[in-house]
Structure 1
Amino acid sequence: MSSILNRILWGRDPDKPNPMSGLTPRDIYAVQRSWAVMYAEAGKYGLELFIRLFRLNPVTKTYFRTIKDMNEEQLSKSFQFKAHAINLMSSINTAVTNLNQPEVVIALMNKLGETHKKRRVEKSHFEDVKAVLVDILRNDLKLTDDVISSWAKFVTFIYKHIFDVLDDKQISNE
């Protein structure tokens, strides 16, 4: 009976992963719903994500020439850096809102991989971003382990396509 009810409510099996993304409809719902809370305060959480990233791995701050010598207070007052933080949040938002179209998300992540490859950003820095994101999800938003597990699947999906580009030895000039 619950199988029939699930198909009526979800329109399909809510626990069957999409072959491209690895995400189930239930995962997509969990990520999109929890993301809406974060994205409602994109400036705040984007800035917080970067500040925590710089605390975790100060080397990552050196990728940003205009702010590399700023302290946290100066960073939080920099409109240029706030704009970059919001840009990051917008990129995540575009991926999250298009999870039902994994081909679109793959194209977006390939492009993101290209821009970060040109700046010689390393995979380990992305892993640091993941650690900070999980920290925010767990400790600030107080999300459950199930929702965080859905986020882990989401990050694995997007990172695969970013890393595919970072691992490619040729840099595109497009």
Structure 2
Amino acid sequence: MGGVFSYLLSWVTPGPTYDLTPDPTTGLSERDCHAILDTWALVSDRKAIKQNGVNFFLVLFKEHPYMLKYFPAFKGLSEDELGDSPLLKAHATSVMYAIKSYVGTIDDAETLAGLVTKMANSHVPRGIKTKDLENLAVVFLDFMGSALGSQWTPEAANAWKQLFDVHCQLYDKVYTELKAGDLANGK
């Protein structure tokens, strides 16, 4: 009887209410954070995260083939060979776990900024520009929409876009600082 009562009560009680005030650093509200957490949970379980990462990179390389230049080990590989590449699987898994760490710190702007800064410090010297990450973000949002279908709501899409906008802003700050340092040092 309790189950029936709970079910009926769920029709008259509103869902959770979230603070809609955006964080001053990330621009994410509590509702945004929950949308990100909920949708990420659908694509990031231990069994699926590696394949989802590989699938994402295959779409990224198809839409932006120039990005393959950042991966000399993938030169000359067909799409099938690329999909089976242990190096792509490793990198794709690493990227998905980096995103998982961002998702895990969306309510801690300082740590999130530290994670993005760390990633930027390793990627800027490889020639990866802010525009490359902006392109990656667009493909990732499309990938999430394809992977989640009707579970990819406009609220989730907007929240993820905001997360990637912050990511790109932080990356660009590091990019600009490192490039200014290179110019000052005659590089």
Name the TM-score class by shorter chain.
0.7 to 0.9
What aligned pairs does 1:4-153 form with structure 2 within 5 A after superposition? 14-40=19-45, 41-142=48-149, 143-153=152-162
SS across alignment from 1:141: helix
RMSD (CA atoms)? 1.7
SS across alignment from 1:83: helix
1:49–1:129: 8 Å Cα contact kept in structure 2?
no
Pair 1:157 & 2:153 matched: no
Q: What residue ranges of structure 2 are gaps of 5+ in the alignment?
A: 1-12, 183-187
Measure, in 2, the Cα distance between the counterparts of 1:81 and 1:139. Answer: 21
SS across alignment from 2:155: helix
4+ aligned runs moved over 2 Å, structure 1 = none
The structure number with the bigger radius of gyration is 2
Measure, in 2, the Cα distance between the counterparts of 1:20 and 1:128. Answer: 22
2:43–2:147: 8 Å Cα contact kept in structure 1?
no
Q: What residue ranges of structure 1 are gaps of 5+ in the alignment?
A: none
Measure, in 1, the Cα distance between the counterparts of 2:153 and 2:133. Answer: 23
Measure, in 1, the Cα distance between the counterparts of 2:135 and 2:56. Answer: 10
Measure, in 2, the Cα distance between the counterparts of 1:69 and 1:42. Answer: 26
SS across alignment from 2:76: coil
Measure, in 2, the Cα distance between the counterparts of 1:93 and 1:139. Answer: 19
Deviation at 1:68, TM superposition (A): 2.1
The residue type equivalent to 1:31 in the other structure is I
The residue type equivalent to 2:43 in the other structure is M
Deviation at 1:139, TM superposition (A): 2.2
Q: Using the aligned pairs only, state the percent identity.
A: 25
Deviation at 1:18, TM superposition (A): 1.0
Instruction: Count residues with an aligned counterpart.
Output: 163
